[in-house]
């Protein structure tokens, strides 16, 4: 659907204004006509115009004031200035204001018609160009958004476990190494929990690996729901998990891990043990070590937490063991 151009004509000489309006009435254009600049300013606040034909010398608002306001409101609007006489200063100011054309009185209607046709063509091309630029801008923004999403997705794939959505082993190593360095340097507490699902092979043998995978996802969800925002939960491998607890003492870590164990028991993931046929509920064993108390390097801290985990396993499972010595010692406290 073609939109009819809108023309604003302003001249304080009634005869000139009538002459122009009569001539333009033959065109398929919207034409608004005003006898003064202040009336034209009010019209500008209500609507946009493609072209403005205005007298230069008017009172109290002249053509230059009208030109400036029109350009402020709509930079694509074209201005055709008409006058019986003009000073050098007013002519230069009109040119600086990007007036499209400068016509002298008495008006030659053929000349005005040609100027209007050209001004409308320029206005249409400018609007089409502005629309194209805006579309390209939106497309570019959409593309940038997609690139950002793809980049985040790629980054997530490099640090996330594909099954559980937890951080993967590679990320765990990097984060724990960084946190140990910070703990040792600033003397801040850091605890590490190592957790392993009890009899998970029996669960898989009974219900199948697909059910096992679903349980791993649910266990991951439970752990994320229990820990704090700054804690890091990772899938260490298979059915083993790790929880990095920055700014956390060993006593505070015990409370956190016990909550994880309780939350898992409360979910009541039931199965039957293949060897005996008895009903069982999936549980998790855990071991805790801290920095700098138990170790001050990555290998040492993981070794102490892992040794505590196996102590919990050997003590009957669904238990928590806490390392109480240095990495060159073998000492554990058990929690039920």
**Catalytic hit among 104, 128, 229, 239:** 239
At residue 197, φ and ψ (nearest 5 deg) are: -65, 135
Residue 75 φ then ψ, to 5°: -65, -20
By the 10 Å C-beta count (0-12 exposed, 13-18 middle, 19+ buried), 53 is classed as: buried
> How far apart are the C-alpha atoms of 237 and 252, rounded to whole Å?
25
Angle CA 311–315–321, to nearest 5 = 45
In whole angstroms, what is the distance from residue 264 CA to residue 79 CA? 76
Among 234, 260, 229, 262, smallest CA distance to 246 is for 229
- In contact, 23 and 56? CB cutoff 8 Å: no
State the Cα–Cα distance between residues 289 and 154, nearest whole angstrom: 33
Active site residue 110: no
Q: Which residues carry out catalysis? A: 239
């Amino acid at each position: 659907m073609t939109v009819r151009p809108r023309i604003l004509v302003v001249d304080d000489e009634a005869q000139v204004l009538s002459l122009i309006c009569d001539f333009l009435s033959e065109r398929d254009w919207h034409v608004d006509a005003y006898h003064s600049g202040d009336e034209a300013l009010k019209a500008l606040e209500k609507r946009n115009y493609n072209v403005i034909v205005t007298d230069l010398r008017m009172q109290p608002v002249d053509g230059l004031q009208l030109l400036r306001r029109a350009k402020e409101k709509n930079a694509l609007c074209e201005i055709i200035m008409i006058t019986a006489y003009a000073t050098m200063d007013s002519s230069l100011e009109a040119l600086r204001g990007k007036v499209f054309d400068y016509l002298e009185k008495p008006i030659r209607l053929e000349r005005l018609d040609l100027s209007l046709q050209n001004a409308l063509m320029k206005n249409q091309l400018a609007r089409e160009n502005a629309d194209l630029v805006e579309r390209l801008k939106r497309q570019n923004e959409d593309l940038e958004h997609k690139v950002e999403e793809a980049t985040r997705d790629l980054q997530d794939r490099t640090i996330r476990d594909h099954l559980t959505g937890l951080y993967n082993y590679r990320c765990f190593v990097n984060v724990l190494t960084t946190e140990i360095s910070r703990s040792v340097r600033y003397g801040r507490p850091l605890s590490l929990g190592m957790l392993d699902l009890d009899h998970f092979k029996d669960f898989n043998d009974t219900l199948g690996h697909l059910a096992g995978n679903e349980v791993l996802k649910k266990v991951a969800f439970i752990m994320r729901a229990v820990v704090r925002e700054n804690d890091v939960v990772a899938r260490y491998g298979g059915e083993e998990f790790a929880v990095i607890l920055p700014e956390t003492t060993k006593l505070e870590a015990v409370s956190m891990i016990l909550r994880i164990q309780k939350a898992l028991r409360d979910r009541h993931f039931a199965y039957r043990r293949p060897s005996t046929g008895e009903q069982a509920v999936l549980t998790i064993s855990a071991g805790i070590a801290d920095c700098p108390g138990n170790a001050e390097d990555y290998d040492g801290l993981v070794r102490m937490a892992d040794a505590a985990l196996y102590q919990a396993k050997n003590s009957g499972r669904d238990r928590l063991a806490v390392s109480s010595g240095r990495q060159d010692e073998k000492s554990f406290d058990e929690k039920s």
